[in-house]
Structure 1
Amino acid sequence: MIMQVVEHKHHFSHLYKPVFTTKARYIHIWGGRAAGRSHFGTSYFLFQITQPGYFRGVFLRHVFSDIRDSLFADFKDRLEESDFNGADFEINESKMTILYKPTGNTIISKGFRKSSGNRSAKLKSLAGITHVLIEEADENTEGDVNKLDDSIRTDKIENIQVIFLYNPPSKNHWLIKRFYNLVDTGILDETGKPIPYYRAIPKTNPDVLVIHSTYRDNIRNLNEKTIKKYQSYGDPESIFYNEEMYYVDVCGLVPEGARGRIYRGWKPVSLEFFRNLPYPSYYGIDFGYSDDPVAVIEIKSHNKRNFWHEVVYEPGLTNPALADLMRVRGVPLGADIYADSAEPKSIQELKDLGFYRIKEADKGPDSVLFGIKQVSAMENYITEGSANLWSENEEYKWKLDQNGEPTNEPVDKNNHAKDAGRYAITTKKQLKRKKKIKVAKTSDSVEAPKASADKSKLDWL
């Protein structure tokens, strides 16, 4: 087999040799950038499609159209670099399929989504598939990947291979939780604390082959300037110094939170501490639908500090069920509640069910960016048991540009609890501002009452 690879100019790195002999169904090839993963994946598919044995391959990405400029284009590059006769291949540019005429072996292209929206693609025609190559595998949900896995079946070969290509996702990602244990790197920051990045150790599973790679494993194919640039990301004296990029993109470590995360530096407080804060509670609601959860967040605010507590975070709740759960979990019927104004019927229904002070959240133009700036300008604390709030705090992120740098457009995902709290905080601030303007216009010097414990045991606030 290896001799045949050489004869056809498939120059595979020794790092990927186990892929040819493994009996594992799942193959994870991941790590830092410039490790040659996509190059290997498309070279491997070119090798397989030209073998005399039965082969049916699939190029797969989250969005179908993204395959055109990635795996499909890469495969054509591998073909051009090889010594195969191009006339032996029938390539359909519109459907992104490849037929090797001498054997009838084929590669098709599929996406989990038809477009960048939420519309799912129907992954049919996968019976008889022998190999799947998933690029940017971390873009897909565990549910989508499980459905794909369940649809792949064939009796033509003994070992089906599902190959995952991806860069390091955060520690909360399903790929990490399902396949790895995390350990500290042993590296300390300038304050003597462990850096917030981890080494991923594969869990013992004979059905999974893991190959972790970085640019160092592909260094013979990189020029000196590229290598120096990667190394400069980890040099505090360099103008290119970027800790996250160095540890994640270069070293292939697993970060604490998502790349481009929106909120950082939030601190934990105990539920007891939160309950004892002498400031009035108010609430925000982000209504869920289908699989998305309804999020109800309790907020206490004082001196440009917000304290967050997760009350409800559950999918599939009707409004009557939500009202019952809010009552059970201590939300007073007379509480100030600010809910997503996109759901006026739900707001009215909760009002009819007894929460008579519920109001629509103040959502003007650019309200999302405005609200994120408002929240980020304040100090924020989360109760220790608010698991979903903490998870969203690490996963809610900005969209990344083509260079992997954050934009100013948030990804509409992992944000249900964050949106609920944002509705409450920004609307409350707007109402206070409007009240001050009204007071000023009437020359009324009414001063709002202060909490009784402002200068007692909470001096640190």
Structure 2
Amino acid sequence: MKGTAYRDFFNILETHNLYNPEHHNKSELTYKLNNNEIEFISVDMPQKIRGRKRNTLWLNEANEFSFEDWVQLSLRTTENIYLDFNPSDPYSWIYDNVINREDCTFIKSTYLDNPFLPEETIKEIERLRDLDSNYWKIYGLGDMAQPTETIFRQFEICNNVPEQAQLIAMGMDFGYSNDPTALVEVFKLNDNLYLNEVLYSKGLTNQDIAAELRKHS
């Protein structure tokens, strides 16, 4: 934290001749400005996260916080909450628990909306267009990332397998406790493959799996 928002905050104060060392409590990471007390909290400070209340909360790089952090902080904030983040984690709690709330306003911005961005940083971001499509999607376009572990990235989801498609195979991935056992039907129509999920479940024994396979033999 001290290398990001904390440092930037005091750099801005000093640039505008607003910094007063008498208002800066370095041990408590607080600063008093115009009758307001600003407190900086890091993700590795759980006692502060569950500490005192505040009027306004700003989560910088919000996807670095856990959902539990969010719950504790939001319960102790009486007025407005602001979050900023890069969409680099498609499974973040922000998408499921914040953005879809009725009282949430979502603003999407990109590097083009930042008038203070150095020219060299702009050039580095724009190089991503040709270097890495996923990074360009995140940092150039401000779109949600695609999971890096995704094997097949070019696909579409359809409601039904076309009737003309031919069943050519079945595919299975074994699992048990941590990972589910998965079974899919593979269909082909012209140059397109269609996968139909048949089974996706944890805790199945070999006998259970065999019984499921017999249903589709």
- TM-score with structure 2 setting the length: 0.66
1:106 corresponding residue in structure 2: 37
Could you tell me how far apart the structure 2 residues matched to 1:299 and 1:215 are?
Answer: 41
1: CA distance, partners of 2:206 / 2:122: 57
Q: Map residues 204-243 of structure 1 onto 2, 5 A cutoff.
A: 205=102, 207-219=103-115, 221-223=117-119, 225-235=120-130, 241-243=131-133
Greater Rg, structure 1 or structure 2? 1
Rounded to whole Å, the distance in 2 between the matches of 1:163 and 1:248 is 20
Deviations 1:100-128 (A, max 9, x none): 4x73x3122223433xxxxx44634423x
Please report how far the alpha carbon of residue 284 of structure 1 lies from its aligned counterpart in structure 2 after TM superposition: 5.0
C-alpha distance in 2 between matches for 1:170 and 1:282: 27
TM-score by length of 1: 0.34
Equivalent residue number for residue 90 of structure 1: 23
Alpha-carbon spacing, 1:124–1:231, altered in 2? closer, same or farther (3 Å)? closer
Contact 1:97 / 1:109 at 8 angstroms: preserved in 2? yes
1:133, 1:163 within 8 Å by CA — same for their partners in 2? Answer: yes
- Aligned pairs, number: 182
What displacement does 1:221 show?
4.3
2:49 counterpart (116, 123, 145): 123
Distance in 2 between residues matched to 1:146 and 1:204, nearest whole Å: 14
Q: Give the unaligned 5+ runs of structure 1.
A: 1-66, 115-119, 154-159, 181-202, 236-240, 286-294, 301-308, 313-325, 336-461
Which residue matches 1:438?
none
Q: What is the match of residue 176 of structure 1?
A: 95
4+ residue runs of structure 1 moved beyond 6 angstroms? none
SS in structure 1 at match of 2:40: strand
Alpha-carbon distance, 1:310 to partner: 4.5
Match of 2:82 in 1: 163
Q: Does 1:77 align with 2:7?
A: no
How far apart, CA to CA, are the structure 2 residues paired with 1:282 and 1:229?
43
Gapped regions of structure 2 (runs ≥ 5): 158-166, 184-198, 211-217
Report the CA distance between 1:253 and its aligned residue: 0.9
Correspondences of 1:392-403 after superposition (within 5 Å):
none
Measured at CA, do residues 179 and 93 of structure 1 come closer, stay the same or move farther in structure 2, by a change above 3 Å?
A: closer
Decide whether the 8 Å contact of 2:56 with 2:77 is kept in 1.
Answer: no
CA distance in 1 between counterparts of 2:127 and 2:64 reads 28
Deviations 1:114-173 (A, max 9, x none): 3xxxxx44634423x1111111101223333122211223xxxxxx12111111144433
The equivalent position to 1:136 in structure 2, one of 43, 56, 61, is 61
Q: Give the alignment partner of residue 144 of structure 2, picking from 254, 261, 280.
A: 254
Q: Which has the higher contact order (CA 8 A, sep 6+)?
A: 1
Measure the CA separation in 2 of the matches of 1:231 and 1:126. 42
Distance in 1, matches of 2:56 and 2:151, equals 40
1:150 corresponds to which of 53, 75, 87: 75
Tell me, yes or no, if the aligned pair for 1:111 and 1:121 is still in contact at 8 Å.
no
Quote the residue 2:170 is aligned against.
Answer: 273
> Structure 1 residues 282 and 230, CA, compared in 2 at 3 Å: closer, same or farther?
closer
Shift, 1:73, TM fit: 1.2
How large is the Cα RMSD of the aligned pairs?
3.6
Cα drift, residue 92 of structure 1: 2.2
Deviations 1:189-222 (A, max 9, x none): xxxxxxxxxxxxxx583x2233322111124643
- The answer as to whether partners of 1:234 and 1:242 remain within 8 angstroms in 2 is yes
Residues 331 and 164 (structure 1), Cα distance of their counterparts in 2 relative to 1, 3 Å cut? same
Q: Give the partner amino acid of 1:76.
A: F
In the TM superposition, residue 79 of structure 1 has moved relative to its aligned partner by 1.1
Pairs within 5 Å for 1:52-67: 67=1
Kept in 1, the 8 Å contact 2:138–2:145? The answer is yes
Question: In the alignment, is the contact (CA less than 8 A) between 1:99 and 1:106 conserved in 2?
Answer: yes
The 1:311–1:122 alpha-carbon spacing in structure 2 relative to 1, beyond 3 Å, is: farther
- Partner Cα distance (1:93, 1:220) in 2: 27
Alpha-carbon separation, structure 2, partners of 1:214 and 1:126: 34
8 Å Cα contact 2:182/2:200 also seen in 1: no
In structure 2, what residue type is equivalent to 1:126?
R
Instruction: Give the letter aligned to residue 254 of structure 1.
Output: M
Change (3 A) 1:296 1:74: closer
CA distance, structure 2, for counterparts of residue 147 and residue 78 of structure 1 = 29
Q: Shift in Å at residue 81 of structure 1? A: 0.6
Distance 1:78 1:170, change over 3 A: same
